[in-house]
Amino acid sequence: MKNWNVILGVDVSKLTLDISCAAHNLHLKIENSSKGFGLFKKWCNGNAFDLKDTLVVLEFTGGYEYRFIQFCESQRIAYTRISGLEIKNSMGMIRGKNDQVDAFRISRYGEEKIKRLTPSKPLDVNMIMLKQLLSFRKRLVRERAGLDSTLKERKHMYGVNNTDLVIRIILGKIKSNNKYIQDVEQEIIKLIKTSEGLLQNYRILTSIKGIGKVNAWMTLAYTENFNLFADARKYAVYVGVIPFERSSGTSVKGRPRVSHMAQKELKQELNQAAKTAMAHDPEIIAYAERKLQSKCYKLVLNNVKFKLILRIFSLIKRGEMYVENYKRAA
């Protein structure tokens, strides 16, 4: 295991980066751009930080960190990305919050957990493009939903038909959006087919009842083809389906609840997957029926989501397709 002489915590936002070294009580705020990265390098040199012995710790942000990561890779600076929930849970009670404070806390987290932190693997260009395509597809789908809502509202309120100018414009935009969504989805499939590993895992995911193409695409993207999360439980925490205990001594005994610090979009997609599995997968149906005898529907739905995640990671690890009524060898 490499010994890192310097641990830097980085709080990432769209326009700026807050970089802190808790051990030396140093802080730097720069633009999230090439110009800012140049200032960061000068700052490190000015403080005698050997970049070969420096580990950068930063949170997942959904994309804002990618330019800085590309810079780190070009300079051979080791970095690791950590779930924001994991960092928050390690801090206990905290007071106050701003970007500089967060950067110091991330640096302190890195110093405390250094023995188990390992540098992240280099960025996969396919993963970056897949996330970009999914993000643009989401925008198109939301725009289409808004247009469809406006269409129904106008017809209901004014009793107009398809000859109305506004209705014709809306219908034309919906038609265009449908074509663009189809084009984006075809590009996603094309991208997945360029990688044997991606294609294999996509086939495994879609073999599971309840996991459709969109859910499979998002799972591949946010796990970076199952390279970001060591096991199913860590991914379940990231998605927000693991309940955390809320108790203290004998006086505080709250019901375990899932954290609001989660990837809500993935969680929403898993909701649909769980509902589909509860309707069409015999094993999940039987499991849900047993759970419903003692739990409410919402809790059972969450249990099913976790069960699907366990199934996903198990099949991916073994490299096997899902087989209904599969029985393990004795």
Which CATH number is 71's domain given?
Answer: 3.30.420.140
Same domain, 106 and 129: no
| CA pair distance 47, 16, nearest whole angstrom | 21
Contacts for 231 with CB less than 8 Å, ≥ 6 apart: 313
Hey, which bits of 75-213 come out as E strands?
78-82
State the chain's mean pLDDT as an integer: 88
pLDDT (0 to 100) of residue 324: 78
pLDDT (0 to 100) of residue 326: 52
pLDDT (0 to 100) of residue 330: 42
Question: Average of pLDDT values for 59-81?
Answer: 88
Domain assignment present for 264: yes
Same domain, 206 and 325: yes
- In this structure, of 56-70, 156-170, 184-198, 266-280, the range with the lowest mean pLDDT score is 56-70
In the structure, what pLDDT confidence band is assigned to residue 329 with cuts at 50, 70 and 90? very low
Radius of gyration of the chain (CA): 23
Same domain, 73 and 173: no
Question: Average of pLDDT values for 127-154?
Answer: 95
- In this structure, of 65-74, 96-105, 143-152, 191-200, the range with the lowest mean pLDDT score is 96-105
Residue 247 reports pLDDT greater than 60: no
| CA pair distance 270, 219, nearest whole angstrom | 10
pLDDT (0 to 100) of residue 124: 87
Exposure on the CB side of residue 298, measured as CA atoms within 13 A: 3
| Domains identified in the chain, total number | 3
Comparison of pLDDT for 254 and 128, the residue scoring more: 128
| CA pair distance 237, 243, nearest whole angstrom | 8
DSSP element (H, E) containing 322: none
| CA pair distance 240, 84, nearest whole angstrom | 12
Find out whether 68 and 17 touch, Cβ atoms under 8 Å.
Answer: yes
Residue 310 reports pLDDT greater than 90: yes
- Please give the residue range of the domain that contains residue 71: 6-112
Domain assignment present for 252: yes
pLDDT (0 to 100) of residue 97: 61
Burial class (CB in 10 A: 0-12, 13-18, 19+), 285: middle
pLDDT (0 to 100) of residue 182: 98
In the structure, what pLDDT confidence band is assigned to residue 7 with cuts at 50, 70 and 90? very high
Residue 86 reports pLDDT greater than 50: yes
Domain boundary among 64, 89, 112: 112
In the structure, what pLDDT confidence band is assigned to residue 230 with cuts at 50, 70 and 90? confident
| CA pair distance 21, 191, nearest whole angstrom | 39
pLDDT (0 to 100) of residue 217: 97
Residue 233 reports pLDDT greater than 50: yes
Burial class (CB in 10 A: 0-12, 13-18, 19+), 272: middle
pLDDT (0 to 100) of residue 122: 87
93-106 confidence digits (pLDDT tens): 455 567 788 899 89
In the chain, % of residues over pLDDT 90 = 66
| CA pair distance 56, 72, nearest whole angstrom | 9
What region does 255 belong to: left with phi over 0, alpha with psi -120 to 50, or beta?
beta
Pairing of strands 16-21, 26-31: antiparallel
Domain boundary among 48, 83, 112: 112
Same domain, 314 and 260: yes
**DSSP SS3 for 26:** strand
Same domain, 237 and 190: no
Question: Average of pLDDT values for 212-225?
Answer: 94
In the structure, what pLDDT confidence band is assigned to residue 188 with cuts at 50, 70 and 90? very high
| CA pair distance 48, 42, nearest whole angstrom | 10
The residues pairing with 243 across neighbouring beta strands, listed in sequence order, are 258
Question: Average of pLDDT values for 282-304?
Answer: 94
**Among 83, 100, 107, 90, which Cα is nearest to 24's?**
107
In the structure, what pLDDT confidence band is assigned to residue 85 with cuts at 50, 70 and 90? low
Same domain, 162 and 225: no
In the structure, what pLDDT confidence band is assigned to residue 274 with cuts at 50, 70 and 90? very high
Residues in the chain: 330
Residue 137 reports pLDDT greater than 80: yes
Same domain, 211 and 228: yes
With the C-alpha atoms ordered 275, 238, 313, 286, is the resulting torsion angle positive or negative?
Answer: negative
DSSP string, 49-60: --GGGEEEEEE-
**DSSP SS3 for 249:** coil
How much is the pTM? Answer: 0.80
